[in-house]
A and B are shown apart, each in its own frame.
Chain A
Amino acid sequence: MSRLASLLLLLAPLAALAHKPSDSYLHLTRDGNGFSGRWDVALKDLDEVLSLDAEGDGAITWGELRARQADVAGYVLARLALGADGAPCTLEPGSAARVVRHSDGAYAVLDFTARCPAGPAALDVDYTLLFDRDPQHRGIVRVANGSASETLVLSASKHTARVSLEGLSPWRRFGDMVVEGVKHIFAGLDHLLFLFALLLPSVLRRDADGRWVPVLAFGPAVKDVVKVVSAFTVAHSLTLSAAVLGFVSLPSRFVESAIAASVIAAALNNVFPVVRGTRWVAALALGLLHGFGFASTLADLELPGGSLAVTLLGFNVGVELGQLACVAAFLPLAFALRGSVLYRRALLVGGSAAIALVACVWLAERAFGVGLSFT
Chain B
Amino acid sequence: MPRSRFVTHLAVGAVAVLSLRCGSNPPAAERVPFTPTSDAVVLEQVPATAGDARARERAALRRALAAQPEQLDLALRLARLDIEESRMRGDPRYLGRAQAALAPWWDAASPPPGVRLLRATILQSRHEFPAALTDLDAAVQEDPRNAQAWLTRAVVLGVRGEHAEAARSCAPLSALAGPLTAAVCEAQVKSLAGRSRQASALLTDALARGAPGPEAEAWALSTLAEAAARSGDTARAEKLFVRTLALDPGDAYTRAAYADLLLDAGRPREAATLVRGHTEDDNQLLRLVLAETALGSAEAAPLAAELAERYAASHLRGDGLHAREEARFALHVEKAPDRALTLARASWDVQREPWDVRLLLETALAAGKPEAAAPAVEYLQATGCEDPGLVALAERVRRSLP
Contact = CB atoms under 8 A, between A and B. Distances in A.
B39 interface: yes
B68 interface: no
Contact of B33 (A22, A23, A109): A109
A369 B318 contact: no
Contacts of A58: 11, 14, 45-48, 50-52
Contact of B83 (A13, A132, A133): A13
A18 B252 contact: yes
B26 interface: yes
Interface string B235-265: 0000000000000100111100000000000
A71 interface: no
A209 interface: no
Q: How large is the interface on A (under 10, 10 to 19, 20 to 34, 35 or more residues)?
A: 35 or more
Nearest to A10: B121
B80 interface: yes
Most buried by A among B93, B188, B215: B93
Interface stretch (A40-48, A81-89, A274-282, A333-341): A40-48
Nearest to B37: A62
Contacts of A140: 316-317
B71 interface: no
Task: Classify the secondary structure of B's interface with A.
Answer: helix
A153 B317 CA distance: 6
Contacts of B400: 369
A132 B69 CA distance: 12
Contact of B93 (A9, A44, A96): A44
A9 B148 contact: yes
A97 to B, nearest CB: 9
Nearest to B1: A9
Interface string B328-341: 00000000011000
Given A10-B152, A60-B44, A17 B33 contact: no
Contacts of B252: 15, 18
A18 B188 contact: no
A63 B40 contact: yes
25 contacts: A1-B324, A3-B253, A7-B216, A8-B151, A10-B84, A11-B152, A12-B253, A18-B281, A20-B282, A20-B313, A21-B317, A21-B319, A43-B46, A56-B49, A58-B52, A59-B44, A59-B48, A61-B39, A63-B40, A103-B26, A105-B23, A134-B97, A136-B93, A136-B95, A253-B337
Interface of A: 1-23, 38, 43-45, 47-48, 51-53, 55-63, 65-66, 96, 98-103, 105-106, 109, 132-138, 140, 151, 153, 155, 252-253, 296, 366-367, 369-371
Q: Please list the 4 inter-chain residue pairs (A to B) with the smallest Cβ-Cβ separation, ordered nearest first.
A: A63-B39, A58-B48, A56-B50, A134-B96
Given A5-B184, A10-B118, 20 more contacts: A2-B192, A5-B219, A6-B251, A7-B184, A10-B121, A15-B87, A16-B87, A20-B282, A20-B310, A43-B43, A44-B46, A47-B46, A51-B49, A56-B51, A57-B48, A58-B48, A98-B33, A102-B26, A103-B24, A369-B369
